[in-house]
Structure 1
Amino acid sequence: MKKILYSLLFFFLIGNVNAQQTPADKQTSAISIEGATAHLGNGEVIENSLIMFNDGKITFVGSAMLKIARQGTIINAKGKHIYPGFIAANATLGLVEIDAVKASDDEDEIGLLNPHIRSLIAYNAESKIVESMRPNGVLMAQITPRGGLVSGTSSIVQLDAWNWEDAALKVDDAIHMNWPGSFTRGRWWLGEDPALKADPKYSENVESIKSYFANAKTYLAGNIEKTHLPYKAMKGLFDGSQKLFIHVNGEKEITDAVTTAKEAGIDNIVILGGEGAESVADLLVKHNVAVVLNRPHRNPNSEDDAYDYTYTIAKKLTDKGILVSIGMEGAMERMNTRNLPFYAGTFAAHGLDKEEALKLITSNTAKILGIDDMAGTLEVGKDATLFISDGDALDMRGNILSKAYIQGRDISLETHQTELWKRYSEKYKSK
């Protein structure tokens, strides 16, 4: 009875709030933005730039000093900045609306081994949390499942759509696995010692993963008479069409994860979390393994880490030649995803070059997610997914958007939060 009442309450609340704004119409005429400082997303910067796009694609990127005819509507952006749309990796946007309401939580599926579960079909394009990303320049995201040993598949979406079909940029890009830790703590509520100690079952857990990979590979190589959905879903890992994203921290764990995947014949590997990755950088470079770091605004996991470890690790890995991005996993991750540019700004404030930091949420992320042919940089032929900011978009003081476009569509920057801000600004202004 309680479940029924809670479900009715949830739908009552949902029915009495405004839905997301209507997605923008397709671009019908060319647009030329001139005079702004263009941050191309690949490390290059063009002062006094000219960016033109039509039919959703960028048609020109260069200096405004060139004598070239402007196309369509001309936007004077002198003194402002242009960026490619930011991309949030390893996010659960659209999978959970209200944490306390189970009916709106669809990030975690029952069971431990779910490579066949697809996060995309659970993605809610009308989520109020999703729309709150856009005013900070976060225009695309990798929607990722959580839970279990093998969580399921992620997909890449743009954040202004009617439904998940319209939102999809790349479908089922990767399968996500949560690697076991080699250390564990006792369950204090059962009287066990809560101190950190080696997990005696770690080797057994690793062997079970190896067996699962081997069984899946054998199934796919044989004469398939009976359908086994989980094994069938892993085909892309072995033929190279999908990546394996391994959520793992720790030097030993990362080494074991990469070695196990390689021995199983899986070549496209990405590490998520990555604490301790700097200690095994040579292994990651050798196997061309990218790292999606957790958000820097947190404490280090180990007591032996430097106080600023989470702020400096991006530079350490970048300097070693590893492709690095930023993921959103952690406490209040959906709401905090809007702070993606400021996480990159934190890495920039702790040693990483500002344009290199920008790459963590643009070109690097696009390469890791396999969408660099359409997004991640301001280049001719790519999607016109970009925005104009009054100042430095990696600094919350300068990240003030005046225009944003997704595939050339002039999208709304209004959200429930901006409406409340304007409402109460007027209230207190009158007093």
Structure 2
Amino acid sequence: MRALTKYITIAFVLIASVVIGQQTPAPAQTEVYTIVGATAHIGNGTVIDNAILIIENGKITVCADAATTKIGQRGTVINAQGKHVYPGFIATNTTLGLVEVGAVRPSNDDDEIGNMIPHVRSLIAYNAESKVVESMRPNGVLMAQIRPLGGRISGTSSVVQLDAWNWEDAAVKADDGIYVNWPSSMTRGRWWLGEDPGFKANKNYPKDIDELKTFMNNAKAYAKGTSDVNLPFEAMKGVFDGSQRLFISANDERQIRDVIAFKNEMNIEHVILVGGYQSYKVAAELKANNISVVLQRVQDLPAMDDHDYDLPYKLPKLLTDAGVLVTLGYDGEYWQVRNLPFYAGQVTQFGMSDADALQLITENAAKILGVETTAGTLEVGKDATLFISEGNALDMRGNQVSRAFIQGRDISLETHQTRLWKRYAKKVEIKK
């Protein structure tokens, strides 16, 4: 009994260590804010050099050129002269809030047992008090799509805002899509068993696709009406009626062409390609079939020895030039999400303008996730999810966020990292 009490005490201490110091979510907006003098980066390619923005009841009610508008300042005035205001950055294809410490299994809730599990909802596992989540806000990442991993059909993703009490408060768009891991067309030998470690064709590739098609056809038949309840099939209904996206992870050219054929065969309205490493080879087909692309992080090495060294860097430009709707994402990561604005900054060195690169992680991301009516740009009527930066937010040197709002709420930018910085900065000062 004494040992049990000891372990219970340890458990409470561990839980408290996570919660204590966590910033309390900001209360609902009660006063009007007017931001004046900033350079407003709208997120759709437009830039206003001297802007006035008014935030009221959680919404943007004014966004105009201060030199030409006759609208006066109201409420609390924020002088942002010489600064920049941006729509909140939107991260896609992440496990934010589902993993706290990768090496500690009890803190990981991003993967469930099973192969075809579309009914597994990532949203209800989302930890709004995660210290990883709070560390996103000081870089301007204010919204994210969280997704499960594993299996052929991993489960259901959701879009959340990153200042909330719990998953119910965090939800911006619940169950926005289903994530599918497309079968691999290639396989590698198991070197530890003496096999050739090189790539070779996956003999089971056609069989794996047939299994996925069988499941989808059964789910489509179920959606037409049945008296029996089947949770996996029930979760797929939105894919067939167009209310949900189908996010399919695939990278090589053969896979991507098969995904295009699959979309047409299944008559699915919204298919989003995730990864898309060789998507530039079939960009015209992707555009013709209205398939958007969520790329993996661009700060990466080429996958093959004979690929251009800068292929990951210039891929967003290649696809955008072909007319494909593109956003920058991850490979189910969580810590790296804080670097999202700097990934966008990276592509500006490979042909994209700052405005176009910004659009990748604002308006484009919102359109791909289906939240463009409320997020993604600084436009009248949309949620006031935005931030003020001292300089260019796509540059590490300029990304110094001084104020941030989520749905009009003036949120804290304090994190576990900033608290440690202040603590040890004082220690250094004492020594001096």
> Given the two structures, how large is their TM-score scaled by the length of structure 2?
0.96
Q: 1:280: Cα distance to partner?
A: 0.6
Match of 2:254 among 249, 252, 255: 252
Q: Which residue of 1 aligns with 2:280?
A: 278
User: Aligned letter for 1:281?
Assistant: A
Measure the CA separation in 2 of the matches of 1:235 and 1:328. Answer: 27
Unaligned runs of 5+ in 1: none
Letter in 1 for 2:286: L
Question: Which residue pairs with 1:422 in the alignment?
Answer: 422
Distance 1:5 1:263, change over 3 A: farther
Give the superposed CA RMSD. 1.6
Counterpart contact for 1:10–1:101, Cα < 8 Å: no
**1:47 corresponds to which residue?**
49
Large movers: runs of 4+ above 4 Å:
4-11
Which residue is equivalent to 1:126?
A: 129
Letter in 2 for 1:264: M
The residue that corresponds to 2:15 in the other structure is 14
For residues 5 and 136 of structure 1, what CA distance do their matches in structure 2 show? 40
Classify the secondary structure of the residue corresponding to 1:364.
Answer: helix
Paired residue for 1:79? 82
Q: How far apart, CA to CA, are the structure 1 residues paired with 2:208 and 2:9?
A: 42
Cα contact 2:188–2:199 (8 A) shared by 1: yes
Superposed CA deviations along residues 376-425 of structure 1, whole A, max 9, x for unmatched, are 00000000000000000000100001100001100000001011112222
CA drift at 1:7: 9.5
Deviation track 1:296-318 (CA, whole Å, cap 9, x = no partner) reads 11111122210011000000000
d(CA) in 2 for partners of 1:298, 1:143: 22
When residues 294 and 8 of structure 1 are mapped into structure 2, their CA distance, relative to the original with a 3 A threshold, is farther
SS of corresponding position for 2:330: coil
> Contact 1:81–1:388 (CA<8 Å) still a contact in 2?
yes
Q: 1:259 to 1:92 in 2, by over 3 A?
A: same
How far apart, in 2, do the equivalents of 1:217 and 1:25 lie?
43
Matched residues in 1 for 2:7 and 2:294: separation?
37
Is residue 203 of structure 1 aligned with residue 206 of structure 2? Answer: yes
Shift of 1:136: 0.3
Matches within 5 A, 1:170-319: 170-222=173-225, 224-319=226-321
Matched, 1:136 2:146: no
- Contact kept, 8 Å, 2:364 with 2:376, in 1: the verdict is yes
Report 1:260-409 matches (<5 A): 260-329=262-331, 333-409=333-409
Distance of 2:143 and 2:196 partners within structure 1: 44
- Give the distance between the partners of 1:8 and 1:85, measured in 2 at CA: 40
Cα distance in structure 2, aligned partners of 1:122 and 1:6? 24
Contact map agreement 2:95 2:334 (CA 8 A) in 1: yes
Structure 1 residue 169 corresponds to structure 2 residue 139: no
The number of aligned residues is 425
The alpha-carbon distance between structure 1 residues 85 and 189, as it changes in their structure 2 partners (threshold 3 A), is same
3-state DSSP class of the match of 1:48? strand
Deviation at residue 225 of structure 1 after TM alignment: 2.7
TM-aligned CA distance change 1:7 to 1:276, over 3 Å: farther
Report SS of the residue matched to 1:246. Answer: strand
Seen in structure 2, the aligned counterparts of structure 1 residues 352 and 9 have a Cα distance that, compared at 3 Å, is: farther
Distance 2:210 2:307 in 1: 30
Aligned pairs for 1:49-128 (under 5 A) are 49-65=51-67, 66-128=69-131
> Using the alignment, how far apart are the partners of 2:106 and 2:231 within structure 1?
26
In structure 1, how many angstroms separate the alpha carbons of the residues matched to 2:188 and 2:13?
Answer: 42
Encode CA deviations 1:219-268: one digit per residue, 9 max, x unaligned.
Answer: 2224x232111111111111111110001101110110121122012121
Partner SS for 1:32: strand
Contact conserved, 1:43 with 1:359, CA < 8 A, in 2? Answer: yes
Give the C-alpha shift of residue 319 in structure 1.
0.3
How far apart are the structure 2 equivalents of 1:11 and 1:208?
Answer: 45
Greater CA deviation, 141-150 or 213-222?
213-222
Distance in 1 (alpha carbons) for counterparts of 2:11 and 2:180: 32
The amino acid of 1:206's aligned partner reads: I
Equivalent in the alignment of 2:30? 28
Q: What SS does the corresponding residue of 1:366 show, helix, strand or coil?
A: helix
Distance 2:231 2:411 in 1: 39
* Contact in 1 for aligned 2:29/2:57 (Cα 8 Å): yes
Q: Distance in 1 between matches of 2:321 and 2:263?
A: 25
CA separation of 1:9/1:269 partners in 2, compared to 1, >3 Å: closer, same or farther? Answer: farther
